[in-house]
Amino acid sequence: MSENRSVVVTGGTRGIGQGLAREFLKRGCRVTITGTSQSSIDRGLAALGGESATLTGAVCDIASRDQVQGVWDHAVAKFGRVDIWVNNAGMSLPRKPLPEIPADDIQKIVNTNLVGVFNGDAVAMKGMLAQGSGYIWNMEGFGSNGQASSGLGPYGATKRALNYLTKVLIKELKGTGVGMGYLSPGIVVTDLLVQDYEDDQKQWEKVQKTFNILGDTVETVTPYLAEGVLKTDKNGARVAWLTTGKAAGRFATAGFRKKRNLFDGIDPRKGVTGSLSA
């Protein structure tokens, strides 16, 4: 397949989304990114070299089906079609017991991580079925395979639900020419990761040892993910950076390898970029 494909990356203004957008551009794709505000779009486009014949952006609240449809329409108007849709946009919350999490925050994470992907999948499926081809990727995260950790109830629940949704949609798309798959980045140093610990500095100090063994940077992970996405056309595929075998190998050899400090100078209260604003 030609690498001159049209790719939509939701939440492509920073973190893994921006990294994916950059790697798709390097490989000759035409890319549309989304963000929650015009200022975030402007920053995201600037970081990727500016709006051009191969790069555009659209403001979108992914909890709104109409606004997500607007992203599809924008990408088609700019590039003629959408070949790949990556549901990357997501959010996390500081780790807290469920009763301590405000109801508004729970609604927000469900709207972003779950309703937003419902909308992305629905819009992309409709458009790709009409054009006869395409591939949709849903982003996995902690909880996708049933892992559980105190303080991650709302986030993990949304990711577990998306795992089920993706399985269902793989069945619905069987034999249609449109594919659906899982994209698993592993533990990546982004605002989404460190924000979990903004209210618990002691726990942050504890988990850094594990994260330094298993974690990676956006620049390390996204080239692999982008290559996997572009090479895949089989419905039901999974592109995973941190496999079970790789994780076990890292733990087994941790004592023999040079220690890493992926979080040097990072304060969870400020985020990786120094700001947690969208």
Catalytic residues: 155
Q: Which of 263, 249, 246 is nearest to 206 (CA)?
A: 263
Indicate the length of the chain as a whole number: 278
> What's the chain look like in SS3?
CCCCCEEEECCCCCHHHHHHHHHHHHCCCEEEEEECCHHHHHHHHHHCCCCECCEEEEECCCCCHHHHHHHHHHHHHHHCCCCEEEECCCCCCCCCCHHHCCHHHHHHHHHHHHHHHHHHHHHHHHHHHHHCCEEEEEECCCCCCCCCCCCCHHHHHHHHHHHHHHHHHHHHCCCCCEEEEEEECCCECCHHHHHHHCCCHHHHHHHHHHHHHHCECHHHHHHHHHHHHHHCCCCCCEEECCCHHHHHHHHHHHHHCCCCCCCCCCECCCECCCCCCC
